[in-house]
Each structure stands twice: as C-alpha cells, then as structure tokens.
C-alpha cells in the first residue's frame, strides 16, 4: 500500500497502471497516476478549515493570493456529487471522525484519484457512519473508480467488496469472491490454519458482589457517572472516540483526579485516588497507548516486566535487584503467554506490536488483579494476537476478576462483554446486557440518541 503511494520503494517487480508499467517514486507520482490514499491516521491539518485541507498542495489562486472561495466551491461540488454534506469553512479539529474521513476522501478525489486506497477505514466509525462510508464507496465504484479497502474486519469485506485478496506475511495467499466464502474460511486463510473462536461462554453472574462502584463521579470529561463492575464480569464500554471512555479508565486507575462523587474499590471508598493506591487495591491497567503508558521501549523485556513491582519479590531483595528472580519470573511469563522471542534481555522496542501487548497483558495479569481496566487491548494487532489477548481476558474474568473493557471496536465489545454501557459526552447513555444487544440501537445511543 505504501509502495503504491510512493512512500516506500519496491525492491523488485513493477507496478502497472492501465496496463502500463510505471515507476512511482513519490506521492507526487502516485497522485499523477490517479492514486489517492486515506490513511488510518488521517493526514489532515487540525487547525485549518475543510476547504484549506482539501486544496493543500494544489491551491487555487487569484491574483497571486490564495482563493478561499474557489476552494469552498470545490468541496461543495464534490460533496454534492457524492451526496453528503460537509461544512467547507469548518475547522477540521471540530469535526467528528466520520466527517474527517469524508474530508480525506474529498481531498483524494479532488486530486483526480481513480484508485482510492482506504486503510482500515471503519476502525473508528459507528455502524451508521460505516454504512454511510460504504454507500459513498459503492457510489464511487459505480462511477468507474477503483476502491481498495484494507481491513482486518471480515464483516466489512464480505459486505462491501467485489473481490477479496487475502494477505499473509507480505504475500497474497488467496483471492476469493464474497459470495463464495464465509467469515470462518477467510479467517483461516488469514492465519493459515484452523481458528477457534474465543466466543464468550455465559458467565456465572448473579450472586457476585460489585468490586468497583462509581457513585456520581465527575471529573474533567465525565459528568455524574454511576456504574458498577461485579467480580467475574466483563463490563464493556462502547462509544464514539472522545466521549469520556478514556477519562473513565483514567479515573478508575487513579490517573485523573475526581472533582465530585466517589468510587468504591472492594470495601474502601475513595474520593481521591492515586495510581499507587489503585494498584494496592488490586487494580491492573492495560492502557490504550502501550508505547506511552505501558512500557519503556529502550529497556529490556525483563526490566519492563518488573516495572511497578521493582521493589517487591521476586524482583528485589531488600534494597537490591534480584536478577535471578527477575529472570526466572520473566521466562515463566514469556512461556505462559507465548511471547516471542523468548528472550528476557531483548529490547522491548524490538518486539512486534502483538508481542509487546502480550507482554503487557502478562505483566498486568501477573499482579493477580481484582479489577482489570483494559482500553483498546487489540488495536493494531494481527488476528492471532487478538485472539490470544481476548482469551486471556476471558479466562481471567471467569476466574473471578472484574474487567472494565473500553474499546472503540464495537465488535470487540460485543464479543467479550457480559454487559455493555454506552458513553456519550461524558455520561452514560444506555446499558445493555449480553444477548439483549441490538447493534443498531447501540449505534444510535453512541451518537447521542435518547432512550
């Protein structure tokens, strides 16, 4: 994909457009050949307007000055052709993620894209926004454009594609049509072997005590929030990015101060909580951004395993580091969680994303937590790692741990959670129990619809 767009250069082979072999040395070349790309992480300038972002790089001018009116006209015309609405004069950082994606699409089309590459476009969208996106792309393909959709969501490709190419370890391993295949077959092709789906068995709910209780908690980004997570239960938190889910996880782990209300962990009430106190109460945290909050890339694997418990056995003896104990415990965890390579002194940053995440999960579970706060645990992982991580979470919940799972991936929430709460603008906007979940209804609530 990056080769197609000229960001990376092929070591061999050739690219052909309209049957003609051509070299793509840079994004300019790609744009000139009619390739447009919508990255998973948008390349929009947040403090510029929609119109300014769309024309960046090929700006209309009048009398030497930048012609904003012409730019606005361009955006309006493209939107009309595709049948959606965008305020061309709005600043991009004020738009929803779905709208920002539309800006990216307009931007690509404006440069004359005939081949549109979408990289994981549905990862951050609500079901409604996803429908909208696929309606637009279908429109485009009917108008004669090519759309390349890169995704790990099987449902998306099955619903959307005319042809499906399955890639594994940099090779194309199969090409199928959606009518001739099923999700299970595709998954098998992707991992190269039979899959066992970690479908959540019904949990032994009911009699267990709530371990975590929030009573009217307010904080920056949260308003008067009350909820409880019972021991042995996975509570899923759904919502569109930026509606207070991250803040909720930070409040529970002691990373964000409460402004009102209190929370109860086990038998203790807290109106202010520090991360150390939370940990002492048995709260473990698998944060969203592991590079930022869960690991130190330049330290070794075993040093990362000791982080947070470096003063306790088996990682320390008195004032000194217990090297042998640390090595032994690390080796044990690497084995139990199938982290590769099995090298305690490898640099953490040299591990693949999936193995880093597995190690973070291993470390947090090793603290024998009573509450596990998990945010976006499988983002950006390959399907085998996704399953491994999910399996561990389920196991732990069934063993009696309370789990608070925040994910932007609705499928993940539905696959794992016993109960689902929807957050909108820092408040709860609906609670669903497993089996009584309607994806449409969840989507409506995520967008703020009232009950």
Q: For other proteins, which is the closer residue by CB, 58 or 399?
A: 58
The interface region with other proteins, picked from 58-66, 146-154, 196-204, 369-377 by CB under 8 A, is 58-66
Q: For other proteins, which is the closer residue by CB, 108 or 374?
A: 108
Tell me how far, at minimum, the Cβ of 238 lies from other proteins, in Å: 26
Q: For other proteins, which is the closer residue by CB, 7 or 176?
A: 7
Quick one: CA torsion of 371, 375, 377, 381, rounded to 10 degrees?
-170
Q: How far is CA 115 from CA 5, 46, 108, 178, in A?
A: 10, 25, 9, 21
Element (H, E) at 3: none
439 Cβ neighbours under 8 A, 6+ residues apart: 127, 410, 414
Q: For other proteins, which is the closer residue by CB, 47 or 143?
A: 47
- CA angle 15/21/23 to nearest 5° reads 65
Nearest to 253 by CA among 280, 224, 220, 291: 280
Tokens 């930070």 belong to: 250
Q: What is the DSSP letter of 199?
A: P
Q: For other proteins, which is the closer residue by CB, 52 or 250?
A: 52
Out of 17, 27, 87, 282, the only residue in the binding site for other proteins (CB under 8 A) is 27
Tell me how far, at minimum, the Cβ of 44 lies from other proteins, in Å: 6
What's the residue count for the chain?
Answer: 451
Measured CA to CA, the distance from residue 312 to residue 310 in angstroms comes to 6
The interface region with other proteins, picked from 41-49, 239-247, 287-295, 354-362 by CB under 8 A, is 41-49
Q: For other proteins, which is the closer residue by CB, 6 or 232?
A: 6
Binding residues among 66-85 for other proteins as defined by CB under 8 A: 66
Measured CA to CA, the distance from residue 308 to residue 239 in angstroms comes to 30
Tell me how far, at minimum, the Cβ of 121 lies from other proteins, in Å: 15
The interface region with other proteins, picked from 47-55, 178-186, 248-256, 343-351 by CB under 8 A, is 47-55
Measured CA to CA, the distance from residue 54 to residue 56 in angstroms comes to 6
62 Cβ neighbours under 8 A, 6+ residues apart: 70
Q: For other proteins, which is the closer residue by CB, 54 or 255?
A: 54
Binding residues among 91-130 for other proteins as defined by CB under 8 A: 107, 111
Site for other proteins contains 28 (CB under 8 A): yes
Out of 50, 52, 351, 443, the only residue in the binding site for other proteins (CB under 8 A) is 52
Tell me how far, at minimum, the Cβ of 345 lies from other proteins, in Å: 27
Site for other proteins contains 148 (CB under 8 A): no
Out of 9, 10, 58, 155, the only residue in the binding site for other proteins (CB under 8 A) is 58
Site for other proteins contains 370 (CB under 8 A): no
Helix axes 353-366, 323-336, angle to 10 degrees: 110
Strands (E) in 42-132, as ranges, are: 61-62, 65-66, 115-119
Measured CA to CA, the distance from residue 232 to residue 202 in angstroms comes to 11
The interface region with other proteins, picked from 63-71, 169-177, 299-307, 429-437 by CB under 8 A, is 63-71
CA–centroid distance for 354 within its chain: 13
Q: For other proteins, which is the closer residue by CB, 77 or 93?
A: 93
The interface region with other proteins, picked from 55-63, 155-163, 260-268, 395-403 by CB under 8 A, is 55-63
Tell me how far, at minimum, the Cβ of 369 lies from other proteins, in Å: 33
Measured CA to CA, the distance from residue 358 to residue 219 in angstroms comes to 31
Tell me how far, at minimum, the Cβ of 50 lies from other proteins, in Å: 13
Residue-wise DSSP of 258-304:
EEEEEEEETTEEESS--HHHHHHTTEEEE-S-IIIII--TTSBHHHH
Q: For other proteins, which is the closer residue by CB, 27 or 183?
A: 27
The interface region with other proteins, picked from 50-58, 146-154, 222-230, 292-300 by CB under 8 A, is 50-58
Q: How far is CA 281 from CA 76, 269, 310, in A?
A: 55, 11, 18
Out of 22, 61, 162, 182, the only residue in the binding site for other proteins (CB under 8 A) is 61
Q: Which residues bind other proteins (CB under 8 A)?
A: 7, 26-28, 31, 37, 39-41, 43-48, 52-53, 56-59, 61, 64-66, 107, 111
């Amino acid at each position: 994909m990056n080769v197609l767009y000229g960001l990376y250069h092929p070591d061999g082979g050739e690219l052909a457009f309209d049957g003609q072999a051509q070299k793509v040395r840079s994004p300019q070349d790609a744009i000139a050949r009619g390739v447009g790309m919508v990255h998973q992480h948008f390349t929009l300038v947040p403090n510029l307007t929609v119109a300014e972002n769309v024309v960046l790089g090929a700006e209309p001018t009048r009398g030497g000055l930048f012609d904003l009116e012409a730019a606005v006209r361009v955006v309006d015309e493209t939107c009309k052709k595709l049948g959606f609405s965008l305020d061309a004069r709005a600043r991009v950082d004020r738009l929803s993620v779905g709208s920002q994606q539309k800006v990216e699409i307009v931007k690509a089309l404006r440069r004359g894209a005939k081949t549109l590459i979408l990289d994981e476009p549905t990862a951050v969208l609500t079901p409604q926004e996803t429908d909208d996106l696929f309606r637009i792309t279908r429109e485009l393909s009917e108008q004669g454009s090519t759309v390349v959709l890169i995704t790990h969501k099987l449902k998306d490709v099955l619903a959307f594609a005319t042809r499906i190419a399955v890639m594994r370890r940099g090779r194309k391993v199969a090409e199928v049509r959606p009518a001739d295949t099923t999700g299970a077959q595709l998954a098998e092709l992707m991992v190269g072997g039979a899959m066992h789906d970690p479908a959540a068995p019904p949990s032994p709910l009911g009699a267990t005590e709530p371990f975590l209780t929030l009573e009217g908690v307010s904080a920056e980004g949260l308003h008067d929030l009350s909820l409880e997570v019972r021991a042995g239960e996975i509570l899923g938190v759904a919502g569109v990015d930026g509606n207070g889910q991250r803040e909720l996880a930070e409040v529970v782990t002691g990373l964000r101060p409460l402004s009102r209300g209190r929370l109860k962990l086990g038998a203790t009430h807290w109106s202010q909580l520090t991360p150390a106190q939370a940990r002492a109460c048995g709260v473990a945290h698998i944060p969203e951004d592991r590079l930022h909050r869960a690991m130190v890339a330049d330290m070794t694997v075993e040093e990362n395993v000791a982080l947070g418990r470096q003063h306790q056995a088996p990682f320390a003896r008195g004032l000194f580091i217990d090297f042998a104990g640390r090595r032994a415990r690390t080796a044990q965890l690497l084995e139990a969680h199938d982290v590769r390579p099995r090298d305690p002194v490898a640099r953490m940053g040299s591990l693949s994303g999936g193995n880093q995440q597995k190690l973070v999960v291993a470390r947090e579970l090793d603290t024998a937590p009573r509450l596990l706060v998990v945010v976006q645990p499988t983002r950006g992982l390959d399907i085998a790692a996704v399953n491994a991580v999910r399996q561990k979470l389920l196991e732990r919940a069934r063993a009696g741990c309370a789990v608070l799972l925040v994910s932007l991936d609705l499928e993940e929430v539905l696959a794992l959670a016993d109960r689902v709460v929807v957050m909108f603008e820092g408040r709860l906007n609906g609670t669903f129990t497993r089996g009584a979940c309607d994806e449409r209804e969840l989507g409506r609530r995520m967008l703020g619809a009232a009950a």
